[in-house]
């Protein structure tokens, strides 16, 4: 019997299928998601890429829109399926990621797959803009490892992969950095010309977006945003107080120890060190270290299984998608619950605003923007002036003066019930509590806006 069809191999795919289905039943939509759909709607409506953020009142004229393809995909899914469409996209990404990782592992090591989503719960269960990177990063690593085993002209596939990725999500920079580790520390020793030209072409592919050369300015704004500088929000460092991070802390030493025992190649050590540094800088980067180390830790402990028939990966992926897709379409609506204001409270905020921009936390501001309301400021936060970013950050931390400046032309503020911003508003003489639901409170101006 072929090793591709041993019972252990079948168990591996069963584990992946069950994992995808389990993730599909638990997924939810987080911040850094619906703003893509809102901008995608603007592109579809105007037939052009907007410069700046059209649904926000704060100035953003100098911002260059790069992930337009990702925005259009989010907008199309929201139009066709609503929030279930975003859940379905996440299920597809999780299925691809786990299927690729499973293909890198020996059949007998399939049980290690269970640790992958456990160590990266936030990335696997919460829909964010990085959903595209969740699928593309494992594909890139698979290509690099195959080339490290047997160098071939297939390495040029890296260039179109990077170009596609650049139009979907900024995580392409992580992929480019890992690719550079392989090209410089491995391929360069074998074929210098190929290594240099592929690296230069891949770097140029990052600029193959609607912003062209201004793509560099887009990433400059990303790395200068106030939330990253303060290590807050999506840029917070790993913390022992966060349950998702605790799972990462528990699993990553296992992967690290196994990777060292597996005697990785020099480029894998370099890439692993870089990914570890990225994970230490921001918890959102933990998933890349997990997806990189997990297959590396076990694939070289024993001989890889024999190649499978060409049809098998497609059939396997289809089998993984079916249970998760069914869950997305039947119970996927749960992805909208548990966070932020309900639809009634959001409508009340729009009415109370009387055409003025609404000040809201990141999650609610994205939902309001997607529904056509005008907000003061929100995601993508790096699109705005640094001063406005800091004011927004300080307001979320409960600074009354910052909130007063942001809301100077607003008549409605929507905020979580228990956050510091809500407690500060409760003390503010300029805004009065008007309505509330389980999660949020609506404050309205007690005086006419200036």
Whether residue 380 has a cis bond before it, omega within 30° of 0: yes
Clarify whether residues 86 and 195 are in a common domain: yes
Clarify whether residues 220 and 117 are in a common domain: yes
Clarify whether residues 321 and 368 are in a common domain: no
> What pLDDT score does 3 carry?
43
What are 223-244's pLDDT values in tens digits?
999 999 999 988 999 988 888 8
Tokens of 162: 């990077």
What are 198-224's pLDDT values in tens digits?
999 999 999 999 999 999 999 999 999
What 43-49 contacts at long range (C-beta under 8 Å, 24+ apart), as own/partner pairs, is 43/68, 43/71, 43/72, 43/75, 44/72, 44/75, 49/210
DSSP single-letter state for residue 56: B
Clarify whether residues 251 and 354 are in a common domain: no
Clarify whether residues 359 and 290 are in a common domain: no
Domain count, the chain: 2
> What pLDDT score does 131 carry?
97
| Most confident segment among 2-16, 32-46, 307-321 | 32-46
Mean pLDDT of 252-277: 90
Residue 334 has pLDDT above 70, yes or no: no
Phi, then psi, of 447 in degrees rounded to 5: -135, 165
Helix, strand or coil, per DSSP, at residue 221: helix
Clarify whether residues 352 and 315 are in a common domain: no
Give the residue from 279, 298, 331 where a domain finishes.
Answer: 331
Which range is least confidently modeled, 60-74, 365-379, 395-409? 395-409
Question: Does the residue 69 lie in any domain?
Answer: yes
Question: Does the residue 239 lie in any domain?
Answer: yes
What are 287-324's pLDDT values in tens digits?
999 999 988 887 655 544 434 443 355 445 555 555 55
Question: Does the residue 170 lie in any domain?
Answer: yes
Clarify whether residues 103 and 249 are in a common domain: yes
CA distance 374 to 372: 7
Residue 353 sits in which domain range?
343-445
Tell me the torsion sign for CA atoms 229, 233, 235, 241. positive
- Residues of the chain with pLDDT > 70, as a percent, come to 87
Strand partners, 56: 375
Give the residue from 331, 355, 388 where a domain finishes.
Answer: 331
Clarify whether residues 273 and 348 are in a common domain: no
Residue 8 has pLDDT above 80, yes or no: no
Question: Does the residue 167 lie in any domain?
Answer: yes
CA distance 396 to 403: 8
Give the residue from 261, 296, 331 where a domain finishes.
Answer: 331
CB 375 within 8 A of CB 358: yes
Clarify whether residues 159 and 236 are in a common domain: yes
Question: Nearest CA to 430 among 445, 408, 409?
Answer: 445
Clarify whether residues 299 and 153 are in a common domain: yes
Clarify whether residues 16 and 103 are in a common domain: yes
Residue 40 has pLDDT above 60, yes or no: yes
Q: Which is more confidently placed, 200 or 421?
A: 200
> What pLDDT score does 362 carry?
93
Question: Does the residue 132 lie in any domain?
Answer: yes
Clarify whether residues 312 and 400 are in a common domain: no
CA distance 6 to 308: 11
Tokens of 431: 């805004």
CA distances from 84 to 1, 27, 91, 123, 435 (A): 41, 10, 10, 17, 28
Question: Does the residue 155 lie in any domain?
Answer: yes
> What pLDDT score does 326 carry?
55
Question: Does the residue 48 lie in any domain?
Answer: no
Q: What does the mean pLDDT of the chain come to? A: 87
Model pTM score: 0.90
Question: Does the residue 45 lie in any domain?
Answer: no
């Amino acid at each position: 019997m072929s090793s591709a069809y041993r019972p252990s191999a079948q168990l591996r795919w069963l584990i992946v299928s069950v994992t995808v289905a389990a993730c599909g039943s638990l997924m939810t939509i987080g911040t850094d998601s619906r703003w893509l759909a809102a901008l995608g709607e603007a592109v579809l409506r105007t037939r052009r890429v907007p410069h700046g953020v059209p649904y926000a009142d704060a100035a953003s004229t100098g911002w260059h829109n790069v992930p337009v393809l990702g925005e259009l995909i989010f907008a199309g899914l929201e139009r066709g399926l609503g929030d279930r469409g975003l859940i379905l996209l996440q299920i597809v990404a999780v299925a691809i990621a786990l299927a690729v990782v499973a293909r890198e592992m020996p059949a007998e090591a399939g049980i290690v797959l269970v640790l992958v989503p456990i160590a990266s719960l936030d990335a696997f269960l919460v829909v964010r803009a990085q959903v595209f990177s969740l699928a593309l990063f494992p594909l890139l690593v698979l290509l690099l490892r195959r080339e490290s085993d047997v160098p071939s002209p297939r390495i040029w596939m890296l260039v179109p992969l990077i170009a596609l990725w650049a139009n979907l999500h900024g995580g392409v920079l992580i992929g480019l950095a890992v690719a550079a580790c392989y090209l410089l520390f491995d391929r360069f020793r074998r074929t210098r010309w190929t290594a240099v030209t592929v690296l230069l072409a891949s770097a140029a592919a990052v600029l193959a977006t609607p912003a062209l050369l201004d793509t560099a300015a887009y990433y400059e704004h990303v790395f200068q945003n106030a939330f990253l500088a303060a290590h807050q929000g999506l840029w917070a460092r790993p913390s022992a107080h966060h349950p998702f991070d605790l799972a990462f802390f528990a699993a990553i030493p296992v992967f690290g120890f196994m990777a060292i025992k597996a005697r990785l190649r020099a480029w894998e050590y370099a890439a692993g060190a870089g990914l570890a540094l990225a994970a230490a800088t921001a918890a959102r980067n933990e998933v890349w270290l997990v997806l990189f180390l997990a297959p590396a830790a076990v694939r070289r402990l024993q001989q890889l299984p024999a190649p499978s028939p060409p049809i098998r990966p497609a059939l396997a992926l289809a089998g993984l998608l079916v249970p998760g897709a069914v869950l997305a379409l039947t119970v996927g609506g749960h992805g909208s619950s548990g966070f932020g204001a309900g639809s009634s409270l959001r409508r009340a905020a729009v009415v109370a605003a009387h055409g003025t921009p609404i000040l809201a936390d990141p999650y609610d501001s994205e939902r309001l923007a997607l529904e056509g309301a005008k907000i003061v400021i929100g995601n993508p936060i790096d699109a705005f002036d640094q001063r406005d970013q800091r004011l927004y950050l300080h307001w979320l931390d409960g600074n009354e003066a910052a909130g007063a400046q942001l809301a100077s032309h607003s008549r409605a503020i929507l905020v979580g019930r228990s956050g510091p911003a809500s407690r500060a508003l409760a003390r503010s003489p300029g805004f009065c509590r008007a309505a509330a639901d389980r999660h949020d409170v609506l404050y309205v101006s007690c005086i006419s806006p200036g």
